Amino acid sequence: MKADTITKSARKLSRSFRVTNGKKFRLQDFDPGNTLGFTDEDKPKAKKALAAGVKALADLQDKLYAQDQWAVLLIFQAMDAAGKDGAIKHVMSGINPQGCEVHSFKAPTSEELDHDYLWRCSKRVPERGRIGIFNRSYYEETLVVRVHPQILGKQKLPQKLLTKNIWDERHQDIRAFERYLNRNGVIVRKFFLHVSKEEQKNRFLERIDQREKNWKFSTTDSHERKYWDDYQSAYEEMIRATATQESPWYVIPADHKWFTRTVVAAAVIDALHSLDLAYPKVGKDQLAELAAAKAELLAE
């Protein structure tokens, strides 16, 4: 497939799932089982498209790295077993590890709790020329913390700041942080892998039944499932409040892993392509230096 064709289809595919203005966003309008009409029979074709996409991504990343101006931050959020790890692994499989970093954010340590909640994440914002991936992120502050407000109690915040506005304030601060990053040349793309409750159950059962998947299952995961509806409404409000033109959310159907991965790759290609990346141009002086170096080598 030609690079141009890949770019165009990546744009078309990913934009069906992009949210740039959250005002009218409703999670129920997005079907976790959606595959845009492609069936399991199209899986081999989708795999081929993904492979071509991964190759295109590698070429774009090479330019991003060489140009050394923009940075790309990809944020992954999802319910357990929605396929974050697999999506990250497959989509990033072809790219140069030197230009990419993945950070996973778990329950904060006591050192982290001694700081504002963006502290641990802002330290991990990618350098120019790099792609940074957050496997969970500061968005947990309006998800798990909102669903279990007792976690807030451990954050050592002054009592006076714990008002009913805290979630709105967090959304505002996150928007402002992302706008700041954007104005500094760090582009942010956010992915919500949207899995259905039914499919999560199937995947949990698989993790319990298959020995080699046992390590992936924890009883806290099935405990969190009891709060499913609370999480869904927290996700909905979060997307409504933080989807912007510069830092869009992608609400990606996650019941079919092959489809999820193809759409994620497409969105990353579209993001990189929007940057008009190019290898740095070599000036006259540098060309003369290159010619001189070549002459010296040949004369050895």
Name 158's Cβ contacts closer than 8 Å, sequence gap at least 6. Answer: none
| Residue with smaller CB distance to Mg ion, 80 or 141 | 80
**Amino acid, res. 37:** G
Contact (Cβ atoms closer than 8 angstroms) between residue 75 and residue 137? yes
199 counts as binding ligand ATP under rule CB under 6 A: no
140 counts as binding ligand ATP under rule CB under 6 A: yes
Q: Which of 272, 280, 278 is nearest to 53 (CA)?
A: 272
Three-state secondary-structure class, residue 44: helix
Side-chain-side CA neighbours of residue 197 (13 Å): 10
Site residues (vs Mg ion, CB under 5 A): 80
141 counts as binding ligand ATP under rule CB under 6 A: yes
- CA 154 to the chain's CA centroid: 27
Lay out the site mask for ligand ATP across 201-230 (x = CB under 6 A, - = otherwise). Answer: -----------------x------------
| Residue with smaller CB distance to ligand ATP, 137 or 244 | 137
Range in contact with ligand ATP (rule: CB under 6 A) among 59-67, 98-106, 238-246, 287-295: 98-106
- Residue 101 CB, nearest distance to ligand ATP (Å)? 16
- Residue 221 CB, nearest distance to Mg ion (Å)? 5
| Residue with smaller CB distance to Mg ion, 80 or 270 | 80
Name 248's Cβ contacts closer than 8 Å, sequence gap at least 6. Answer: 18, 19, 20, 189, 190
Q: What is the DSSP annotation of 133-149?
A: EEES-GGGGGTHHHHST
107 counts as binding ligand ATP under rule CB under 6 A: yes
Lay out the site mask for ligand ATP across 58-97 (x = CB under 6 A, - = otherwise). Answer: ----------------------x----x------------
Name 181's Cβ contacts closer than 8 Å, sequence gap at least 6. Answer: 73, 125, 187, 188, 247
Name 279's Cβ contacts closer than 8 Å, sequence gap at least 6. Answer: 63, 66, 67
Range in contact with ligand ATP (rule: CB under 6 A) among 31-39, 40-48, 141-149, 158-166: 141-149
Residue choice 151, 152, 166, 275 for contact with ligand ATP (CB under 6 A):
151
* The two structure tokens encoding residue 269: 């290609």
| Residue with smaller CB distance to ligand ATP, 136 or 240 | 136
115 vs 109: CA distance, rounded Å: 10
**Under the rule (CB under 6 A), what is the footprint of ligand ATP?**
80, 85, 104-108, 135-136, 140-141, 144-145, 151, 218
